[in-house]
Structure 1
Amino acid sequence: MILRGIAQVVFQPNPWVGLVFLAALFAGGWQFGVFGLLGAVTATLTAYLLGAARSERVVPGLEGFSGTLIGVGLVLYLDTRWMTALLVIFGAVVGSVLTSALDVLLKPYRLSGLTAPFCVVTTVVVVGGTAFGRVWAEHAGTAPPSTAAPGLGMSWTHLWQGTFNGIGQIFLQNQWYAGLIFLAGLVLAGWRVGLVALASSVVGLLTGWLLGAQAADLGAGLYGYNSVLTGVALFGTFVVATPASAVYALTGAVTAAGFTAGIGELFAVVGGHTLTWPFVLVTWTFLAAVPMFSRIART
């Protein structure tokens, strides 16, 4: 259940995929593996103890993925401290409740909460953390790479590292080798999933480049990961895989990349971060529109 919860970050109910993802987190840094695992365990245990549907929700890992991301996100933004561990535990508990609340609210529209619980909890903690000395005293520096290396000229290194980082940034990892391990996990889930993820990362990167995004940010994968999640969601996961849905998913991936800068600038005003908000908002919109299109069908 725990490993499936980690794999469900990218919609895969496969414990072996979750194990590869966990290995990728540890490759990015031991703290990401430990705190991601702490969040997954806490969220899953919370749902189990509160009586969430075991066969429909807990066993497939649908209660663990937001907790995983909460753990990784908070240790990234708040650093490795005991206070961060407490916040991850509490945040994963709240995220579990929020997951169920969104499931109830969105069920009539055949939508799921996706990673919205992670986005809400992490945004609230990071934005509100400045008011609490024990939370914010040693917070980690999280300025975008372009702050230190501005410029629009994209090199081959930016392109190939950005492609892998675009997958790794789903878990907030900017080491290309971690992204490569995540990609291997997706290929393990199925060659089509891996191919869609790889193509969506390239689409997000090229969209950012065409719009004039900073090359260092492109190389870090900051314009790819929301496109990856959106592409995988709209092609074969929530939407039947057809030539028409491939174009639909491509459009969604481009849109998610375009949203990235706007949402990032919006949250930067209050000290927040882009996270996976573009993916959540774009995917909700595109899935809600499916019943109006005769050539697109929900799975």
Structure 2
Amino acid sequence: MPIPPYRFLTEVLKGQGQVTFMPSALTGLFFAAALFAAGWEYGLYGLLGTAVGTATARLLGVDRGRVADGLEGFNACLVSTGCAVFLGADRISSVLMALGGAVVVTVVTAALANVLASWNLPTFTLPFCLVASATTMAAPGFHRVWEGAAGTTALTRPATGATSLSWTQLWHAFFADIGQIFFMPQWYVGLLFLLGIFAASRSAGLVACLGSAVGIATAWALGSPADGIAQGLMGYNAVLTAMAVCGVFIVADRWSLGYAVAAGAAATALTAAVTSFFAPSGGHTFTWPFVLTSLVFVAAVPSFPRLRRV
């Protein structure tokens, strides 16, 4: 039975909001506006991917509750937007890759959900990481996909340069850490994303700010190049990790707040390692550090009586 268009649109917007764990159509609207602010093509790719992923889940009969909450759209949103950023938004091949990726990531999500359910662990953005990594690493072997693509310009090798942060670089980094969750380095785009998080939950917004601050502080303390920090390349994984372990999957309190700081710092340190690991093959960091760190920190919770799973 066909669903009303407004309900499907709501599911799509919630899918975009779920990139930062927010099942809110209003958050998704902010996120869509942020992507359009970065470039109309990114806004379209984001909506297209989320819509295809959501529709695929519906056609395959995925639990209606998951679809309604946007849980079947956020990985597809990231895959599609990633195709625009790393393969070039103005290519027909990128559109086709985005469409195919949105379908495939829905299947991968179901497979991983079944596997990780045995340990009561969420999939996070692991489906996106697997599909996006396979796509970008394989793309150079297909000339119709890769020739003239823009993917060689972003995160293909570890950053180098001066480590001292100027005031401008510092506040740019604070917002860019949010924007880079969607591969966008512009501070104003990150600001729109942050406003979208606050629109759904003030506490989640504050934890996102904490994650960004932890990411910046950790990267600076470890001597990361200032340009990379300012572009948000070192802090976006800390934002997602902090949100995941303080309020989303672990009950928010003073203990989980400290846990979030530790997890955010670990994700930032791991970002450099993952970037170096993928550099020789032309792969990208994506949200691998967030996924790996969060899986470890959430899986460890049963051993810590002061922490409670949501």
| Aligned counterpart for 2:69 among listed residues 52, 60, 75 | 60
Shift of 1:165: 0.1
In structure 2, distance between residues paired with 1:144 and 1:159 = 20
The residue number in structure 2 matching 1:186 is 197
Alignment gaps of 5+ in structure 1: none
The residue number in structure 2 matching 1:20 is 30
The residue number in structure 2 matching 1:36 is 46
Shift of 1:150: 2.4
The residue number in structure 2 matching 1:132 is 142
In structure 1, distance between residues paired with 2:53 and 2:155 = 29
Letter paired with 1:112: P
The residue number in structure 1 matching 2:8 is none
Q: Contact 1:197 / 1:229 at 8 angstroms: preserved in 2?
A: yes
- Matched residues, number: 298
**C-alpha offsets along residues 207-230 of structure 1, whole Å, 9 cap, x if unaligned?**
001000000000001111100000
Letter paired with 1:34: L
Q: Contact 2:159 / 2:225 at 8 angstroms: preserved in 1?
A: no
Q: 1:44 to 1:146 in 2, by over 3 A?
A: closer
- What is the SS of the residue equivalent to 1:104? helix
The residue number in structure 2 matching 1:255 is 266
Letter paired with 2:70: G
Q: Contact 1:146 / 1:215 at 8 angstroms: preserved in 2?
A: no
In structure 1, distance between residues paired with 2:273 and 2:158 = 17
In structure 1, distance between residues paired with 2:131 and 2:157 = 27
- What is the SS of the residue equivalent to 2:123? coil
In structure 2, distance between residues paired with 1:168 and 1:61 = 20
The residue number in structure 1 matching 2:3 is none
Q: Contact 1:145 / 1:220 at 8 angstroms: preserved in 2?
A: no
- Runs of 4+ in structure 1 off by over 3 angstroms are 143-149
Q: Normalising to structure 2: TM-score of the pair? A: 0.94
The residue number in structure 2 matching 1:290 is 301
- What is the SS of the residue equivalent to 1:269? helix
Letter paired with 1:271: G
Q: 1:170 to 1:6 in 2, by over 3 A?
A: same
1:275 to 2:286 alignment = yes
In structure 2, distance between residues paired with 1:152 and 1:250 = 22
1:202 to 2:222 alignment = no
In structure 2, distance between residues paired with 1:95 and 1:189 = 26
1:236 to 2:241 alignment = no
The residue number in structure 2 matching 1:176 is 187
In structure 1, distance between residues paired with 2:140 and 2:49 = 22
Shift of 1:152: 1.4
Q: Normalising to structure 1: TM-score of the pair? A: 0.97
| Aligned counterpart for 1:100 among listed residues 106, 110, 115 | 110
Q: Contact 1:116 / 1:277 at 8 angstroms: preserved in 2?
A: yes
The residue number in structure 2 matching 1:82 is 92
- What is the SS of the residue equivalent to 1:226? helix
**C-alpha offsets along residues 200-258 of structure 1, whole Å, 9 cap, x if unaligned?**
10110110010000000000011111000000000011001111111111110000000
| Aligned counterpart for 2:169 among listed residues 158, 163, 176 | 158
Shift of 1:190: 1.4
In structure 1, distance between residues paired with 2:155 and 2:278 = 13
In structure 2, distance between residues paired with 1:290 and 1:59 = 28
Query: Aligned Cα RMSD in Å?
Result: 1.4
Q: Contact 1:145 / 1:217 at 8 angstroms: preserved in 2?
A: no
Letter paired with 2:24: N
Q: Contact 1:144 / 1:217 at 8 angstroms: preserved in 2?
A: no
In structure 2, distance between residues paired with 1:143 and 1:170 = 14
| Aligned counterpart for 1:220 among listed residues 231, 236, 239 | 231
Letter paired with 2:99: I
In structure 2, distance between residues paired with 1:26 and 1:231 = 26
Q: 1:114 to 1:148 in 2, by over 3 A?
A: closer
Letter paired with 1:243: R
